[in-house]
Structure 1
């Protein structure tokens, strides 16, 4: 299984590592050198071995590169990013969302593979699974493995409720994603379940987050701040900080004009309006803080990341 991906990214060439934030920019001649080395099954160049050790602490030997480095080809379209809503369906019924009101829908597995092949052939390196809730899709694991094996840096955008599911956790551990981004809706069961309108949601998400943390997954929490949970922002921050060092804040102001029972099983929508804003929430909750990812580093011309010359 590959440990490093070498790929075009728009007008640049990069080396990235699944599950890691670090990355390298390469001049095209170095990209071509690695590509030809891997294609021929020849020993890795010494400069590449030294660079991967410096950036990721890897100890690649000088043997065949075919089992450790996956090289993505140049493509005519040369896209670099894509997001895929793998399904229309969710196991939560969040007040500000309409997805759960729709019938569950998604492509059959054969068409999912065909779509992933199309995405790969356009050059996409950074690929995000979302939904709906992607982890409840019956084909999520196979789709994830396929994207990973194609040499994509995968992100999973999830509510976190299925991260402790055995096959899902095993897959994400064995084939580490670029990151797993989880939305957090409160710091107490009462608030969390009132907003998601799903009994047991808070307990299930905490269980999933703790399993992901214990497994060492690259976890990022997105704190969804609304009028409904703004009073818990400090507690939400503390909870997030206890689980990961990567947290971002997404203020959404919801003007709720009707009240829906927190544990309603009918999942009838309330008449609410939502808009992103920084008003009516505690100070600083509209700010966004996170460490630069490899994607951001490689996309910026002034990125502070190793550049091979």
Structure 2
């Protein structure tokens, strides 16, 4: 049985506690306790979250990480505040004595304060990533990652990326089928790879009207098609001229650029999944041929699809 220590502190982000559900559902699927979860804080007792909800905790000062804790996971918060020396000391013991030491969102700042991220790759919520890099220059911050595993240290991006982090832990412990089953019960995508971007091309566009939104949703669901302006305009019930003007006004991008961004995002996700050839990805995402996809990747990421595929493979090794 693997013991999970989930560390909170005053003002922690309560959404991060959804990570616990991943381990809970793995237990239910196995019909036995593969994991036990303990919510910890420095002094124990009720701890107030940023939402004003109190959570009962045990004092980690009374616990030894040792072999008893398989994984120690520290929550994040809505902002960035320094934590106590006692918490830093506990995390450093956990790094030496537990199999995994992990953070969610801005919890990476706590690991960094404790010196745990020195010389390591790490991520955090995109909004705070550059501040984390500035404050801790000995850490290699990758701001566009869902989660990163560097040896025994795991860090995740913000908000719901804690689900991806913990699904990856379940996959490591119990296999891909178990992880996939837990994701299905949680009604989440199984599962965003650690290398996947925190950003969504569809969310970045943020159209104001339902007409333009519906055309973008249609495009995302039909990337393999040509997706001409005439086709998208018909979905929006506008003339091609009206559609192009409204689309650019609402999104700040031309239809052609927006479709390329959607295709690049979908292609990158497929490449990082690791099961598809370059030719297959180009065909499935509507680029048609690998050379056209290569040029789009160079514009978007400054590197070709082959480099991203190799990087994803090395991370998974």
Same fold, TM-score > 0.5, yes or no? no
Higher percent of residues as helix: 2
Give the TM-score taking structure 2 as reference length.
Answer: 0.31
Give the TM-score taking structure 1 as reference length.
Answer: 0.32
Higher percent of residues as strand: 1
Looking at both structures, which has the greater relative contact order when contacts are Cα pairs under 8 Å and sequence separation is at least 6?
1
